[in-house]
Structure 1
Amino acid sequence: MNNCYKLIGIAGDRSCPELPNFIHCRNCPVYSNIGRQLLERTIPENYRHERTELFSQERADAKTLTIAETLTVVIFRLQGEWLALSTQVFKESISPTLIHTLPHRSNQILRGLVNIRGELQLCISLTHLLNLETANTPIATLSPVVYPRMAVVEKAGSVWVFSVDELYGIRRFQQRELRDTPNSMTAATHHFTKGFFYWREKSLGYLDEELLFTTLDRKVYR
């Protein structure tokens, strides 16, 4: 293949007699012909197979890396504690709704039943489960206007609803940002967290959803 542009052209010593006329090699028909030959060349044997394998591997590696390193969570507040729960179990948030108490049930964790679009779901107090103290002083909120919400979570067909005092929304963290849970957290909260993130100058407890659902099944149904 003619590679005169590398020898006497714009990328070489510029001694080509046609260079003053064309100013740049890309304007020369010889250069255009080189590009045409490159595009029309015969595909080497096994080229398609090799490139398919390469791109498949790169895509799989990128996907594995993203899953392994990125944690996507929903951030909310209970009393004075900011907590995070994986988006994989977070189903939706709704406006506070009427809670129907259940007779002969004195469990502080189980508050009753709520109607979610025609289906009755169990409503629990995550505040009691985590043994969070009621705040006696005003809480610093992220927004000047805070609307309490109810969170609906689901894992393996098990659905729970609980109230939150403030809902921030979705945030992504890197796996390396997860730190060991500080001793300043209550014993119950410490037990239910995988660790914490530094977020907006706060300690954000990352809840262990597997332990959370297992404990709720045990404490509510038994």
Structure 2
Amino acid sequence: MSDPRDPQSASVEADETAAHVDLASASGEPSTWLFDAPIDDCWNRIGVRGDGSCPRLAGYIHCRNCPVHDAAAARVLDREEAADAVLGHKGLHRQTEQSLSEYAAREADATSWLVFRIGDEWLGLPTTIFQQVAQLRPIHSLPHRRHRAVLGVVNVRGTLLVCASLARLFGIASAVGQDGHRPEQQGHQHGIDARDLARLLVVEPGGEGGELDGSGNNPRNPIVFPVDAVDGVHRFARADFQPVPATIASMSASHALAVTAWKGGTVGLLDAAKLFETLNRSLT
């Protein structure tokens, strides 16, 4: 009489099951075989829970001692783990797609601003209106100027441009003097971050699509204004824009479209059209 525990006969199904599980593990991804292949519950048909006709019962006494039963139990556990892995993979995939979609939407809704500092206030203007960021240079005063915000004229690349003071226009204390220099820069201090150096910003009123004359040129000349520091160009999402707090009483607040969080603080985003309108009134 043959032994029902003979490896050549009793554990054939267990070996096949293990081979399928090993292939699924080697692929690095959950296998659909673990879901689709049926499990033969022979213990319910011919085992201790069935009619008891299984020839292996003579050797194993009970189905729980049979390797076929062990292999089926292992498949049940592997199938549950694989199901969890697939659900987790799909959830991560959906989360990644959602993150990319949200990032793309924010980028599509973002606008570019040049951020600079006047006194203690960080402000921003659309990058489209800027022609140049220049080093400080002497500002030559104009006789009989009507507005205190007009500092004079400055030579930028061989062209004399009107220089106005946003600090005076907004009532902000600035370290840039009438001569276009700051005291600490006159001492030629070393080790200063380039972003913290005073600069001249050259802006063009028609930079945002202003009117053109018959020859296709912008009839309005660029305007220059000094700032205490220039941090650089940054992109801000419109979804992050917040209303200007009513508690801010400075003139810069009256020219701001919104404020947004930036580097642990806030930056005021100025309305370029309104700013140029105020500057033009000061120049006439």
TM-score under structure 2 length normalisation:
0.50
| 2:118–2:174 Cα contact (<8 Å) kept | no
Partner residue in 2 for 1:152 = 202
CA separation in 2, counterparts of 1:81 and 1:184? 15
User: In structure 2, how many angstroms separate the alpha carbons of the residues matched to 1:104 and 1:118?
Assistant: 24
Equivalent in the alignment of 2:248: 185
Correspondence 1:53-68 to 2 at 5 A: none
Q: Which residue in 2 is equivalent to 1:128?
A: 168
**2:252 is aligned with 1:197:** no
Q: 2:159 corresponds to which residue?
A: 119
1:161 maps to 2:224: yes
User: How big is the alpha-carbon RMSD for the aligned residues of Structure 1 and Structure 2?
Assistant: 2.5
Work out which of the residue numbers 219, 238, 255 in structure 2 matches 1:175: 238
Counterparts of 2:137 and 2:192 in 1: how far apart (Å)?
23
| Superimposed CA distance per residue, residues 141-174 of structure 1 (whole angstroms, 9 cap, x where no aligned partner) | xx95331111111122431101110110000111
Query: Contact conserved, 2:154 with 2:161, CA < 8 A, in 1?
Result: yes
In structure 1, runs of 5+ residues without a counterpart are 1-11, 14-64, 136-142
Residue 107 of structure 1 corresponds to 147
- Structure 1 contact 131–186 (Cα < 8 Å) conserved: no
Contact 1:76-1:165 at 8 Å conserved across structures: yes
The one of 119, 123, 128 equivalent to 1:79 is 119
* Identical amino acids, percent of aligned pairs: 31
CA displacement at 1:113 relative to structure 2? 0.3
| Structure 1 residues 133 and 118: alpha-carbon distance in aligned structure 2, compared to 1, 3 A threshold | closer
Q: Secondary structure at the match of 2:245?
A: coil
Equivalences, count: 155
Taking structure 1 as the reference length, the TM-score comes to: 0.63
Paired residue secondary structure (1:183): coil
Query: Would the aligned equivalents of 1:68 and 1:175 in 2 still touch at CA under 8 Å?
Result: no
Displacement after TM superposition at 1:183 (Å):
2.8
**Structure 2 stretches lacking a partner, 5+ long:** 1-31, 34-104, 176-190, 207-217
* Code of the aligned partner of 1:182: P
Q: Which runs of 4+ in 1 moved over 3 A?
A: 65-68
Whether contact under 8 Å (2:116, 2:124) holds in the other structure is yes
Is the 1:196–1:204 Cα contact (8 Å) retained in structure 2? yes
- One-letter amino acid of the structure 1 residue matched with residue 135 of structure 2: S
Cα distance in structure 1, aligned partners of 2:277 and 2:108:
24
For 1:133 and 1:80, the matched residues in 2 are separated by: 8
The Cα shift of 1:87 comes to 0.3
